[in-house]
Structure 1
Amino acid sequence: MTRPPVPDGGPDLRPELTLVEVLNTLLRRWRVVAGLPLVAAVGTAAVSFALRPTYTATATFVPEGRNQNRLPAAAAGLVGGLGITLGAEPTQSPRFYADVVRSRELLERILTAWYTDPRARGDVTDSSTLLRMLRTKGRNPADSLARGVKKLNELISVRVDDQTSIVRVSVDGEYPALAAAVANRVVEYLNDFNTKKRQSQARERRKFTEARVVAADSELRSREEAVKTFYERNRGWQQSPELTFEEARLRRQVEIGQQIYGTLKREYETARIEEVNDTPVITVIDRAVPPQERSWPKHVLLIVLAVALAGTIGVLWAFGAEYVDRARRDPHDDYRELRSLLQRVRRDVRRMFTRTRA
């Protein structure tokens, strides 16, 4: 089938490109269409294999869920009956642990800790600080430590599952064993930090309740002494309505004092136990183990992306070159204008280069 003729100066009534024309265009420039992806694949493979491998070790844990409300049992029951849920302490939230992992104090402690050096050869076992193995250099030790904190912060990632409260700490590293050791050390220091924080809070609470227990004991003894004195002075108080009322008031004060003293005493004993409690506050689900496969670079993925990108560029270049060739041969006004514009751009570029050299 032949194309309809195009009148001079009239619109281009030719149909769209057919499949045969597309294939012809690609085959006429097959060297670029096929060669560019091949070169991209070989170059990407060479670069990806030359890059240092990165391994990712992951440790998984769940924080201890403790209800930290200090209300008496009766008050807690009343609040629960009203449909109000007493939530856990904010420092027991999984998000809290995610923020603590990136705290400067914890990162500095991890950097200055000692680890088995994976660069040691043979049977020789050597150890070094993580800061030294990361090869961070600064103007002085403080600057080196600050740079190390920034670099380590980039190597650590934390993911929190809000539904299960599971926290995953991942560490990227050049050496699998070192990445696993750092991930496990992060979990260990997190537990140590929270244990010390809990013990510190319990110590302060113990000091406060201890003082309040002494004061409550003194007040209770004073009220009990008042009741004793009342009975000694008023042996026939049952016969007098006024004395009966006074006796009930004094006895009520004693009962209130006993309740306050009992509550404070229980809080004091609980604080004493918490002060020396060193049980873990997080439950480790999976300790980090040295990964067997690298997490980066992904050779196959990089090569596929490079081939796809280079192939797209090659196809676009082939159709662009075909369009330019038609513009040179076709006498149509649009193509003549395109040729003049291309020539003008070429002249402008030459003038720019000439001025730059001058």
Structure 2
Amino acid sequence: MSTLPNSGAAVAAESAITLSDYAAALRARWVAVTAVPLAAAALALGASYLVTPTFTARTSFMPPQQQQGSAAGAIASLGALAGLSGSVRNTGDQFVTFVQSRTVADGLLQRFDLKTVYDEKLAHDVRLKLADRTRVSIGKKDGVITLEVDDESPQRAADMANAYVEEVRKLTAGLTLTEAQQRRAFFEGQLKQVRAKLDSAQAALQGTGVSTESIKAEPKAAVEALAKLRAELTNAEVRLQMLSSSLSSNTPEVQQQTAAVSRLRAELNRAGQAERSAPGGYVGAYREFKYQETLFDLIARQYELARVDESRDGGQLQVIDVAQVPERKSKPKRSFFMIAGFALGLLLMGLQTGRELKARREQRAA
């Protein structure tokens, strides 16, 4: 009874395949072990020639700066209305989004007839293929945007990469121009209204006489301060109107501007109480004239800035490297095909050798 387990263990020991046995079997059939992986590598290399080559074109560019130095200085001097003249702030991340937008993709779809190129009937499928063949990245330190496009035609790959930059320029130019047009039209209407009021105030001032009592009152300093305060209040109200048209009343910007308007109104009420005791006639006409003159100056400067922004070409991209026609294909990598074929052939020979060794040991054990 006790010999049965021992005999079973002996059979298992005899049927076990050791590493030395495996190495010996491989050496015994070294010709096949060498020839089969090499043949598989050759076949994989031949198959790689059947794969349509892909070429990659690359371009890189810098997004425009957020603000020019001279414009920033002019805007900073405008006081309460400075926030209305800010230009479009295009960061690198925004331009990456522009590159990946449907508008830009549709522009390339029409320019290169990508439905025919990609053999697709639906524009949606063309956009997916285009996105799969396009890679865009932005440098973390320098902010340079790199754009790569894959295509079977090296010339078309370069043309599409450069076309991406052109389409992004069109998109950003339209966005900037639309915003500048809105500001220009708004301040143009305000300027007409203030000019009419300024002419009326000037006529009223010329129609008043300067009496001795008015001269003794020395109204110039007080009236100019009051006119400046009223102009600031009007400016703040205009800014609140612009913010309220695009933001909710619960946003911090609107609440902060509302508080500024309330503060200016309170100061104006206090100044108005003191001004009521001053002589009328010339004082009132002079006060109204200085108010309209100050307001006209502020809005005129805003209007000129808006006209300058409208005349500029929005989204001036600074292209660093224009995409050139690639001279070498990027896919397929024939060396990868050869290595994969050789490894597959070697694996198959190893498995085949192991199965044969196992079969022989089982026959001997039986």
String of CA shifts for 1:40-97, please: whole Å, max 9, x gaps: 2122111101111111111111111123998942699xxxxxxxxxx9955x122222
Q: Which residue of 2 aligns with 1:50?
A: 50
Q: TM-score, normalised by structure 2?
A: 0.66
CA distance in 2, matches of 1:286, 1:228: 64
Counterpart of 2:326 in structure 1: which amino acid?
Answer: P
Task: Confirm or deny: 8 A CA contact 1:238 1:244 kept in the other structure.
Answer: no
Superposition RMSD on alpha carbons, in Å? 3.8
Answer yes or no: is the 8 Å Cα contact 1:56–1:294 preserved in 2: yes
Q: Which residue of structure 1 aligns with residue 306 of structure 2?
A: 271
How far apart in 2 are the matches of 1:267 and 1:186? 34
2:327 aligned partner: 292
Task: Provide the residue aligned with 1:130 in structure 2.
Answer: 113
* Partners of 2:293 and 2:352 in 1: CA distance: 92
Aligned partner (choices 153, 160, 174) of residue 175 of structure 1: 153
Q: How much has 1:305 moved relative to structure 2?
A: 2.4
Q: Does 1:73 align with 2:76?
A: yes
The equivalent residue for 1:63 is: 63
Contact 1:227 1:247 in 2 (8 A): no
Corresponding residue number in structure 2 for 1:197: 175
- SS of 1:297's equivalent in the other structure is coil
Structure 1 position 259, deviation (Å): 4.8
- Determine the structure 2 residue equivalent to 1:122: none
Partner residue of 1:236?
Answer: 213
Deviations 1:292-344, CA, capped at 9 Å, x for gaps: 1011111112211221233234324433442343234336xxxxxxxxxxxxx
Cα distance change, pair 233–294 in 1 and its aligned pair in 2 (3 A): same
Match of residue 270 from structure 2: none
What's the counterpart of residue 99 of structure 1? 97
Q: Distance in 2 between matches of 1:37 and 1:75?
A: 78
The Cα offsets for residues 135-184 of structure 1, whole Å up to 9 and x where unpaired, read as: 5243xxxx3x4433333232222122232121122111112112111211
| Unmatched segments (≥5 aa) in structure 2 | 80-85, 231-286
SS of the residue aligned with 1:288? Answer: coil
Asked whether 1:151 is paired with 2:149, we answer no
Q: Distance in 1 between matches of 2:88 and 2:177?
A: 15
- Preserved CA contact (<8 Å) 1:227 1:250: no
Secondary structure (helix, strand or coil) at the match of 2:49 reads helix
1:326 and 1:88 map into 2 onto residues whose CA distance is: 83
2:7 partner SS? coil
| Distance across 1 between alignment mates of 2:365 and 2:120 | 64
Check 1:225–1:50 CA distance in 2 against 1; reply closer, same or farther (3 A cut): same
Task: Give the whole-Å Cα distance in 1 for the aligned partners of 2:223 and 2:56.
Answer: 75
Q: Which residue of 2 aligns with 1:81?
A: none
Cα distance, 1:205 vs structure 2: 1.1
Q: Per chain length, whose mean CA-contact separation is higher, i.e. which structure has more relative contact order (CA < 8 Å, sep 6+)?
A: 2
3-state SS in 2 of match to 1:44: helix
**Aligned-partner Cα distance in 2 for 1:316–1:259:** 92
Code of the residue aligned with 2:76 in structure 1: it is A
Contact kept in structure 1, 2:22 and 2:357, CA below 8 Å: no
Task: State the shift of 1:246 in Å.
Answer: 6.6
More helix by share: 2
1:311 and 2:314 aligned: no
- Residue pair 2:169, 2:317 contacting (<8 A) in 1 also: yes
Does the Cα contact within 8 Å between 2:54 and 2:329 map onto a contact in 1? yes
Whether contact under 8 Å (2:98, 2:104) holds in the other structure is yes
What SS is found at the alignment partner of 1:50? coil
Unaligned runs of 5+ in 1: 1-5, 77-86, 114-128, 332-358
- Does the CA-based 8 Å contact 1:65-1:88 persist in structure 2? no
Distance 1:245 1:47, change over 3 A: closer
- Identify the residue that residue 187 of structure 2 maps to in structure 1: 209
For residues 93 and 196 of structure 1, the distance between their equivalents in structure 2, rounded to whole angstroms, comes to 16
CA drift at 1:30: 3.7
Could you say which residue in structure 2 is the equivalent of 1:34? 34
